[in-house]
């Protein structure tokens, strides 16, 4: 099989460092940071541990950012993670990743986020329209924008990402400066909870396993909120000087997200307290309501709507490039590999992604599909991190010339990241065995599909 490292000349390299950085941040920041602080707080019960799990999640995300940055330096190809898995392991492994991305990971996630956008949009505008229909309209508009060209899609995505940062910045500022001591009780974010005892004091040495299980349960929503950095690598074929700009964008973008997420959680803990944070499902709205009243709640609702729309824009721009790379490898419909003569983007791949997400949004099955995402996603995260070891051994000449990005502390940091990925998969299997088995079943169904495509390509 001929790999497409040299075949992507038709793609237009029109995205710079700023666009790539906004893609990294946009792939991570969706609606999770506005809601998941309360989910994590239900598992751990002190201010210190709430912030600790978010800091640990940030360290994992930073490790991932450096790992993907090194991979992008060595193999700056269209399809990103798909290309790394194909080159390091086997085209079958890469195909299964693309298969899972299309049927589970990306499409189900986009459908769920589109419905979240629709709900907040209806709340703000009082439009009398079903959530599924509004979600479908949003997806249709973003599909059209991205079919106009990578420059159009990138501009819209960067604009929405800037608005996201403004919304999160407003949440942080209002929580710190407007929800003052006269409105909420003073809280020491690193002080004890639970009647004067720290979380560590509540567990004896023989109870360490329940304690670690509790931390692991809190880390799942945290890691889910930090996920998405890898999608920016999908458009490596359309980034100017990808071996330089993509690694920088990954490190800068992930670092920026970690700072924003930690600041949001400090604010939530200070304003709502541990019990208040654990007992709400809308922490961001509660903080803004305390700071600015009903107006604040409406402002943050608008911010969440913009954030979800920005996530959808980023997904519509990036994920279709994986299906495009699969088609170029002869492992998908040939038409998906065709570029528009005018816009030089894979229009059919973009339309396919938008159409499938819309069907799932209208069907109302997106929540069920999301239950299968975590285990499948983290399996491929672990496998992709292993590519660093393989590429360093295989491409010694390139390593000797000095790649632009290196994983700090490798191999220790890389091994720790891989271990975290496998622990998340094990924890998911333990807690949700039925969902995990269904997700793996969908993934394994791609094996006969791969051999059918391979046979067709050979013929």
Q: What is the DSSP letter of 15?
A: B
Tokens found for residue 155 = 């501009």
Contact status, residue 69 vs residue 413, Cβ threshold 8 Å: no
Return the closest-CA partner of residue 254 out of 234, 228, 233, 235.
Answer: 228
What residues contact 409, with CB distance under 8 A and at least 6 apart?
none
- Burial tier of 163 (Cβ tally within 10 Å: 0-12, 13-18, 19+): middle
Task: Give the span between the Cα atoms of 26 and 156, in whole angstroms.
Answer: 11
pLDDT by 10s per residue, the chain, length 459: 334 444 544 777 888 999 999 999 999 998 888 988 998 899 888 899 999 999 999 999 999 999 999 998 888 887 889 999 999 999 999 999 999 999 888 888 898 899 889 989 988 888 888 889 999 999 999 999 999 988 898 899 999 999 999 999 999 999 999 875 444 444 444 444 444 445 545 555 556 777 777 888 888 889 888 988 899 999 988 898 888 899 999 999 999 999 999 999 999 999 999 999 999 988 999 999 999 999 998 999 999 999 999 999 999 999 999 999 999 999 999 899 998 888 889 999 999 999 999 998 888 777 677 677 778 888 999 999 999 999 988 876 555 455 556 888 899 999 999 999 998 888 788 877 888 888 889 899 999 999 999 888 777
What residues contact 12, with CB distance under 8 A and at least 6 apart?
149, 150, 151, 238, 344, 345
pTM: 0.86
What stretches of 227-319 show up as alpha helix (H) in DSSP? Answer: 242-278, 283-292, 294-318
Tokens found for residue 276 = 């208040």
């Amino acid at each position: 099989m001929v790999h497409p490292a040299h075949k992507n000349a038709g793609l237009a390299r029109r995205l710079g460092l700023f666009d790539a950085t906004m893609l990294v941040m946009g792939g991570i920041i969706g609606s999770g940071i506005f809601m998941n602080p309360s989910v994590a707080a239900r598992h751990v019960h002190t201010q210190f541990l709430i912030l600790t799990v978010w800091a640990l999640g940030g360290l994992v995300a930073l490790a991932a950012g450096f790992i993907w940055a090194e991979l992008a330096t060595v193999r700056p190809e269209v399809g990103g993670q798909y290309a790394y898995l194909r080159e390091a392991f086997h085209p079958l492994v890469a195909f299964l990743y693309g298969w899972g991305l299309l049927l589970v990971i990306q499409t189900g996630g986009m459908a769920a986020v589109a419905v979240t956008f629709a709900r907040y949009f209806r709340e703000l505008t009082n439009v009398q329209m079903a959530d599924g229909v509004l979600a479908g309209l949003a997806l249709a508009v973003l599909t059209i924008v991205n079919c106009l060209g990578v420059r159009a899609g990138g501009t819209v995505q960067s604009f929405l990402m800037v608005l996201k940062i403004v919304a999160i910045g407003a949440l942080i500022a209002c929580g710190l400066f407007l929800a003052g001591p006269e409105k909420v009780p003073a809280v020491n974010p690193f002080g004890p909870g639970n009647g004067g005892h720290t979380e560590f004091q509540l567990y004896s040495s023989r109870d360490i396993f329940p304690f670690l299980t509790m931390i692991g349960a809190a880390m799942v929503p945290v890691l889910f909120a930090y996920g998405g950095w890898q999608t920016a690598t999908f458009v490596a074929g359309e980034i100017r000087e990808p071996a330089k700009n993509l690694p920088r964008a990954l490190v800068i973008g992930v670092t920026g997200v970690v700072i924003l997420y930690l600041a949001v959680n400090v604010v939530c803990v200070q304003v709502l307290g541990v019990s208040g944070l654990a007992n709400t499902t809308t922490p961001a709205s509660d903080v803004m309501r305390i700071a600015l009243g009903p107006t604040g709640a409406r402002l943050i609702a608008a911010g969440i709507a913009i954030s979800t729309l920005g996530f959808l824009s980023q997904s519509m721009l990036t994920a279709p490039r994986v299906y495009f790379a699969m088609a170029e490898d002869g492992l998908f419909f040939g038409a998906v590999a065709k570029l528009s003569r005018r816009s030089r983007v894979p229009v059919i791949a973009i339309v396919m992604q938008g159409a499938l997400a819309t069907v799932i949004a209208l069907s109302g099955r997106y929540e069920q599909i999301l239950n299968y995402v975590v285990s499948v996603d983290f399996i491929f995260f672990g496998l992709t991190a292993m590519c660093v070891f393989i590429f360093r051994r295989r491409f010694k000449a390139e390593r000797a010339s000095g790649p632009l990005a290196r994983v700090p502390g490798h191999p220790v940091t890389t091994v720790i990241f891989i271990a975290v990925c496998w622990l998340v998969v094990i924890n998911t299997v333990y807690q949700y065995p039925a969902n995990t088995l269904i997700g793996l079943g969908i993934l394994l169904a791609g094996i006969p599909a791969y051999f059918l495509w391979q046979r067709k390509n050979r013929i």
